């Protein structure tokens, strides 16, 4: 069994909470603009775009003044949000997105997996779309999905584009902390490092600007292996801004 596939299977045994988003997710894998439209229609017909399994509150910092820790986003029960889990099999990554403001999109389990948040806006930023891709090791056509989404944004007149990356643990000590032996942890870290390099090269080749890279060695110290990450669109003075949610607690 491929080591990445085995880890995706074993991680749920180590951390039962990892399955929270997976149990409450609706597959909207982005393979093409046409596929996105079909997946969206299925979501709407299933009621998944209007009634999610959980809601999000206004964000309350969960840290002590002067501690230097990142405020923790706490998702509670008075505002809707979208969620997406990973696809441990299949070439294409799991994905969800929105053009709505105050409607967070989230994923979790960012250990070897990588989250790519791609957004585009009109030149005056009065309109914006964004999409969250959860890329597992098996999702070999992840780059194609992201490039296709860029084309989708361009066709919709959303020319101001960038991506934000998160996840992809490359520190073998973190894998050993999850219960792996030295050999497996070392191989896992090396594999993740190689996959990150390949994905970043493909984004660069597609002229997709990475505005923030929280992967591998760039992971913030407060971002734990199982961190929940995502984004939210906020509207201020007629402009729709992208807000990166990088330390999220599900309650």
The model's pLDDT over 155-180, given as tens digits with 9 standing for 90+, comes to 999 999 999 999 999 999 988 888 88
| Tokens describing residue 47 | 């009621």
pLDDT range class, residue 56, cuts 50, 70, 90: very low
Residue 27 has a pLDDT of 47
Q: Work out the mean pLDDT of the chain and round it to a whole number.
A: 75
pLDDT(22) > 50: no
Residue 108 has a pLDDT of 80
Can you count the helices (H) and strands (E) in the chain?
6, 10
pLDDT in tens, 203-247: 999 999 999 999 999 988 767 666 678 999 999 999 999 999 887
Give percent of the chain above pLDDT 90: 39
Whole-angstrom distance, CA of residue 147 vs CA of residue 207: 9
Residue 25 has a pLDDT of 45
Q: How far is CA 45 from CA 49, 76, 154, 171, 193, in A?
A: 9, 26, 27, 43, 40
DSSP-derived 3-state class of residue 125 = coil
What are the residue ranges spanned by the domains of the chain?
Answer: 3-250
Residue 167 has a pLDDT of 92
**Mean pLDDT score, 110-115:** 89
Predicted TM-score (pTM) of the model is 0.78
- The residue with greater pLDDT, 48 or 199, is 199
What DSSP letter does each residue of 150-170 carry, written as one string? Answer: HHHHHHTT--EEEEEEEE---
pLDDT in tens, 76-102: 555 577 778 777 777 888 888 899 998
H helix or E strand, kind and range, residue 228: strand 228-236
């Amino acid at each position: 069994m491929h080591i990445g596939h085995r880890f995706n299977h074993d991680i749920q045994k180590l951390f039962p909470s990892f399955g929270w988003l997976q149990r409450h997710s609706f597959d909207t894998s982005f393979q093409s603009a046409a596929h996105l439209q079909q997946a969206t229609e299925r979501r709407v017909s299933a009621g998944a775009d209007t009634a999610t399994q959980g809601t999000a509150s206004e964000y309350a910092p969960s840290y002590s003044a002067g501690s230097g820790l990142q405020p923790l986003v706490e998702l509670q029960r008075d505002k809707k949000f979208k969620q997406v889990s990973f696809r441990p099999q299949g070439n294409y990554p799991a994905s969800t997105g929105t053009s709505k403001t105050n409607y967070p999109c989230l994923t979790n389990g960012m250990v070897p997996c990588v989250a790519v948040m791609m957004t585009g806006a009109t030149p005056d930023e009065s309109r914006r779309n964004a999409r969250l891709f959860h890329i597992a090791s098996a999702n070999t056509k992840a780059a194609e999905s992201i490039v296709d989404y860029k084309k989708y944004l361009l066709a919709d007149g959303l020319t101001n584009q960038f991506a934000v990356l998160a996840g992809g643990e490359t520190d073998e000590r973190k894998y050993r902390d999850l219960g792996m032996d030295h050999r497996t942890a070392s191989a896992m870290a090396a594999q993740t490092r190689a996959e990150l390099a390949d994905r970043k090269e493909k984004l660069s080749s597609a002229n997709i600007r990475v505005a923030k890279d929280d992967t591998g060695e760039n992971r913030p110290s407060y971002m734990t292996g199982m961190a929940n990450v995502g984004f939210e669109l906020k509207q201020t003075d007629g402009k729709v801004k992208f807000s990166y949610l990088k330390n999220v607690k599900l309650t």
